Structure 1
Amino acid sequence: MKSKFILLMLCCAGFYAAAQAPAAKKTSGNPIFPGWYADPEGIVFGDTYWIYPTFSAKYEEQLFIDAFSSKDLVNWEKHPKVASTADFKWAKKAMWAPSIIKKDKKYYLFFAANDIQSDQEYGGIGVGVAKKPGGPFKDHLGKPLVDKFYHGAQPIDQYVFKDKDGEHYLIYGGWGHCNIARLNKDFTGFVPGADGEVFKSITPEGYTEGPFMFIRNGKYYFMWSEGGWTGPNYAVAYAIADSPMGPFKRIDTILKSDPAVARGAGHHSVIKHPTKDEYYIVYHRRPLGETNGNHRVTCIDKMEFDENGYIKPVKLTFEGVAANPIK
């Protein structure tokens, strides 16, 4: 009799625990993880989604980069301080806008540091290398890869683009100017073009910062942020061309503030499901009522195309996206 009573109590306890347990998340929600984070780059490695954002704080506090991973876009795991100024002795502050790519079984993390304002200051775009996407990333060069204002572009907001032929390009630039340069095989420098020029300007109309590029149906989609990052006019626009070198003619704005949801939506990246024609835009925005410029959160929403291949305007949501695991 006693054993039956114990069994009954255990069953009751199990039912009570199940009733009290929080319901499983059906969507990612926006923001997708807690904390002030901006400039997110999303990417897929194997069967896992990864996001590498800027820690959104005062420049003097931006001394590290966190990463986040997910198997389904809904549940995210934090990987703290995958890179920090402790391993990049030249980087003193303002570690911004990480961009990552896998090559030859290694992971290369590009980032900007020090927010240099002229060629006389030391800093710019650096490169870290690691054996795993979660780091730790160590200094690949011992110095910045780009440390000058070529064509007027501040060396920030770097994106590493892999072309169809396997060549890699660095696309970057702030202060209203964007450059592209072909990386060499070991990511220690650049390969000059046929005209001898290393950095080629591809700045489209309206460009401010935050470039991103991807290929769909043989076309090169070039995207960027416009407006001021602390203001409500921050937005994402795009162009389409037949080459990563352009020319890029602005088509439209596809991501912007929504007075019912959030302000300052911008500095994005794009994640494509590896086996489906399904795309997601990962971006930051400022919650309504927030006045601190650094109070930005990372969000994700669907990005869709019309029958002509043009990007449809993205709807900002609080729900985010549903689970979409990689089989």
Structure 2
Amino acid sequence: MRNNLFLLMMLLFVGSLSAQHHKTSGNPLFNGWYADPEGAVFENQYWIYPTYSAPYGQQVFMDAFSSSNLVDWQKHESIIDTSAVKWAHKAMWAPAIFKKDNHYFLFFAANDIQNEDEEGGIGIGISDRPEGPYKDYLGKPLLDEFHNGAQPIDQFVFQDKDGQYYMIYGGWGHCNIVKLKNDFTGFLPYDDGTIFKEITPEGYVEGPFMFIRNGKYYFMWSEGGWGGPDYRVAYAIADSPFGPFKRIGVVLKQDAEVATGAGHHSLIKVPGQDEWYIVYHRRPLGETDANHRVTCMEHLHFDDNGFIKPVKITYKGVVEMNLENCDAN
């Protein structure tokens, strides 16, 4: 009897450890309407920088969220707002974050400009802390012009293997890649004298994202309409950041039993590991307001040939993953 009781206690103890080990984030990751999430790893913390999802006139600030384990998220309110960026008045969208020379550069779009006579475009905030506050780095937009048909929104900052920084951006079904100056104050021309190179793949609408894995350049983007149920993420692979990028297929899409409008994503890579997570937004079932979007996360996997496996969106989210002794990405 005593042996049986001891065995039962051991089983309960092991079960408890197993349950703790399999603690999951749940989806959405945190409360509130948030979209277009940019994920990063800074200061031994996971970070997510999203758009505040509301009518354009209310999108006058940005919050950030940090976590040590992907499960417990801390909110950092109003890390940047229009009071710090005098030329921004509304529609602050799709932050992109990069750490360089002990400064954090927060790229964002503002004002949803429709032509070059309007004030707005892509700007940059700067801070010495990932949680801000961020001030206007340039005092004006970095880009307020239209090139190759691309609206200046949805910017992503990418550093190539040779150290060169690029900005990949564009709405209205067109995507450009530009070489950034080392201090992020402007652009450098390519060898042929041009500045704006178009790399638009089939199906591209907005939300570009690029990363390197095993020497290959993976280019991802959002397709469909952001306000509708068929928003989704597709991808291509090339040997260069300039492509050509031939569409391979869809990675992320709606699930009629979970949520609709799954798209505008980014990826988080665990430093030093081939461990990847996709951070994205989606619209809960039953929501009819286009701005009712929430931030979620799933594990991202590759097959033996390097292709991205389709992601199933879940309510469960991801398993707890703690960061220890990791440098900023």
TM-score > 0.5, shorter chain as reference = yes
Three-state SS of the structure 2 residue aligned to 1:245 is coil
State whether residues 22 and 320 of structure 2, in contact with CA within 8 Å, keep that contact through their aligned partners in structure 1: no
Q: Which residue of 2 aligns with 1:179?
A: 176
Whether 2:178 is the aligned partner of 1:189: answer: no
Larger Rg: 1
Kept in 1: contact 2:33–2:52 (CA 8 A): yes
Tell me the number of residue pairs that the alignment of Structure 1 and Structure 2 aligns. Answer: 305
Task: Give, in whole Å, the separation in 1 of the partners of 2:138 and 2:298.
Answer: 36
Q: Which residue of 2 aligns with 1:212?
A: 209
8 Å Cα contact 1:25/1:74 also seen in 2: no
Normalising to structure 1: TM-score of the pair? Answer: 0.92
Query: Does residue 74 of the first structure (1) align with residue 71 of the second (2)?
Result: yes
1:104 is matched with which residue?
A: 101
How do 1:57-136 residues align onto structure 2 when only pairs under 5 Å count? 57-136=54-133
| Counterpart code for 2:229 | P
Which amino acid letter does the alignment assign opposite residue 318 of structure 2? V
Contact 2:107 2:122 in 1 (8 A): yes
| Contact preservation (8 Å) 1:207, 1:226 | yes
Q: Do structure 1's residue 51 and structure 2's residue 48 form an aligned pair?
A: yes
Give the aligned residue type for 1:42: G
- Once the two structures are superposed, residues 123-142 of structure 1 have per-residue CA deviations (whole angstroms, 9 ceiling, x without a partner) of 00000110000001111111
- Provide, for residues 91-137 of structure 1, a one-character-per-residue CA deviation record: whole Å limited to 9, x for no partner: 00000000000001100000000000111111000001100000011
* TM-aligned CA deviation for residue 25 of structure 1: 8.8
Q: Give the Cα separation in 1 of the matches to 2:33 and 2:22.
A: 21
Unaligned runs of 5+ in 2: 1-19, 325-329
- CA distance in 2 between partners of 1:78 and 1:137 (Å): 16
Please, what is the CA RMSD of the aligned residues? 1.1
Give the Å deviation of 1:46: 3.0
Matched, 1:33 2:30: yes
CA contact (8 A) 2:39 2:47 kept: yes
How far residue 164 of structure 1 moved from its aligned partner, in angstroms, is 1.1
- Find the residue that maps to 2:83 and give its secondary structure: helix
Distance in 2 (alpha carbons) for counterparts of 1:175 and 1:91: 21
Name the SS of the counterpart of 1:151 in structure 2. coil
Instruction: Tell me, in whole angstroms, the C-alpha distance in 2 between the residues paired with 1:326 and 1:25.
Output: 16
State yes or no: 1:317 paired with 2:296.
no
Structure-2 separation of matches of 1:111 and 1:24: 37
TM-score, structure 2 normalization: 0.91
- Give how far 1:56 is off: 0.1
Alignment partner of 1:166: what SS? coil
Identity of aligned residues (%): 68
Runs of 4+ in structure 1 over 3 Å off: none
Match of 1:289 in 2: 286
1:137-156 counterparts in 2 under 5 A?
A: 137-156=134-153
Does the 8 A contact of 2:21 with 2:320 survive in 1? no
Q: Which sections of structure 1, spanning at least 5 residues, go unmatched?
A: 1-22
Q: What's the secondary structure of 1:152's corresponding residue?
A: coil
- For the pair 1:266 / 2:266, whether they are aligned, the reply is no
